[in-house]
């Protein structure tokens, strides 16, 4: 069962890669089309000022994928190291990844804040349930 936990972890990593590729595809296409020299966007503040919001959405999502997902990676690493991974943890991990994928899809495309927040909140609840369950199982 423990090896089954690797699949949602790898899936979240692949989601991060997908968002990263999408971000650069949008940005580079926009910069080339608009003939904007890269030096003009040398800082995050300048990027936000010069590029339209829809071009910056994947970048904002990529930043999100390095916030709470870090706790997911740490939790899964501890589960594997302690040999505590079971079917419930694997199901929770898949639920977390699915909700994060939904969050990414919303933020990178339509960016409808109430929908995005709902996906974020649901994924956070799943993550904190994993953390609490791990803490209780380690006592």
Query: Measured between alpha carbons, how far is 65 from 46 in angstroms, rounded to an integer?
Result: 22
For 122-134, the pLDDT digits (tens) are 999 999 999 999 9
Question: Any residues with CB less than 8 A from the CB of 84 and at least 6 apart, and which?
Answer: 78, 134, 137, 138
**pTM of the predicted model, to two decimals?**
0.95
Q: Are 55 and 30 in contact, with CB atoms under 8 Å apart?
A: yes
Residue in this structure with the two tokens 């890669």, named with its chain if needed: 17
Take residue 41 and report the two structure tokens written for it: 């966007």
In this predicted structure, what is the pLDDT of residue 138?
83
Mean pLDDT along residues 60-75 = 98
Residue spans of the domains in the chain: they are 2-138
For 18-30, the pLDDT digits (tens) are 999 999 999 999 9
Residue 139 has pLDDT above 90, yes or no: no
Topology of domain 2-138 in CATH is 1.20.120
- Res. 118 pLDDT band, cuts 50 70 90: very high
């Amino acid at each position: 069962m423990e090896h089954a936990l690797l699949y949602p972890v790898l899936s979240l990593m692949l989601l991060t890669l997908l968002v990263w590729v999408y971000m650069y595809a949008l940005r580079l296409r926009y910069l080339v089309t608009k003939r904007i020299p890269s030096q003009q966007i040398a800082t995050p503040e300048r990027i936000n000022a010069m590029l339209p919001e829809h071009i910056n959405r994947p970048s904002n999502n990529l930043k999100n994928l390095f916030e709470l997902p870090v706790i997911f990676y740490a939790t899964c690493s501890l589960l594997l190291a302690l040999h505590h991974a079971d079917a419930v943890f694997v199901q929770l991990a898949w639920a977390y990844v699915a909700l994060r994928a939904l969050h990414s899809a919303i933020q990178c495309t339509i960016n409808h804040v109430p929908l995005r927040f709902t996906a974020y909140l649901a994924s956070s609840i799943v993550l904190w349930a994993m953390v609490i369950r791990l803490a209780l199982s380690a006592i």
